[in-house]
Amino acid sequence: MRMERTLSIIKPDAVGRGLIGEVIRRLEENNLKIVALKMVCMTKAQAQGFYAVHKERPFFDSLTDFMSSGPAVVMVLEGENVIARYRELMGATNYREAAEGTIRREFATDIEKNVVHGSDAAATAAFEIAYFFNSFEIVG
Ligand code: GDP
């Protein structure tokens, strides 16, 4: 068994559309344990830092504008194999390719405005969690 933590973000599109409760309900329904949670309003610079791995991508400017366009909810999830389990629940980046029943398939409106973020590996999760939370803000 692999105990892991991952960073989840309910992106500004979803917060603006009143989907915080819906996303959290799905996390709880799927036994993805929330061990930290808060609301943030990223500046453009903070969004650029968070997505620095994508800085050469053509969509970097648009993505960081979007991520700094309004409040987002950031959470730490913890559990066995939680990185992959949460990515499965989110669905593919492009909601048109996401599996039926996934969060992105059901709620995303655009490849960019795709409702949720989830870390893709243990090393990125460690970076992303530390980007938003100090150890006192994570329970358990
Ligand atoms: P993720 O791990 O599934 O979130 O996907 P990536 O790490 O590849 O991309 C990060 C985020 O950038 C995605 O969640 C989207 O919000 C956005 N994104 C990815 N691909 C595109 C694209 O082709 N165009 C635009 N505008 N945004 C994209």
- H or E element in which residue 34 lies: strand 33-40
Concerning whether 117 is annotated as a catalytic residue, the answer is: yes
What is the tens place of the pLDDT at every residue in 92-123? Answer: 999 999 999 999 999 999 999 999 999 999 99
Ligand 1-lining residues (CB < 6 angstroms): 59, 62-63, 93, 111-112, 114, 117, 120
Ligand 1 atom with the shortest distance to the CA of 92: 3
Q: How far is the CA of 136 from the centre of ligand 1 (A)?
A: 30
Q: Which residue among 50, 53, 54, 63 is best mutated to probe the pocket of ligand 1, counting the most ligand atoms within 8 A of its Cβ?
A: 63
At residue 124, the pLDDT reads 98
Residue 2 has pLDDT above 80, yes or no: no
- Going from the C-alpha of 68 to that of each of 15, 29, 33, 92, 135, the distances in angstroms are 12, 29, 26, 22, 24
Residue 1 has pLDDT above 80, yes or no: no
What is the tens place of the pLDDT at every residue in 47-93? Answer: 999 999 999 999 999 999 999 999 999 999 999 999 999 999 999 99
The pLDDT confidence band at residue 140, using thresholds 50, 70 and 90, is confident
Q: Give the residue among 133, 29, 116, 125 at the shortest CA–CA distance from 67.
A: 116
At residue 14, the pLDDT reads 98
- Catalytic residue, candidates 5, 87, 105, 117: 117
Name the residue with the closest Cα to ligand 1, atom 15.
112
Residue 26 has pLDDT above 90, yes or no: yes
Judge if pTM exceeds 0.75: yes
How far apart, in whole angstroms, are the C-alpha atoms of residue 87 and residue 98? 11
At residue 84, the pLDDT reads 98
Q: How far is the CA of 93 from the centre of ligand 1 (A)?
A: 6
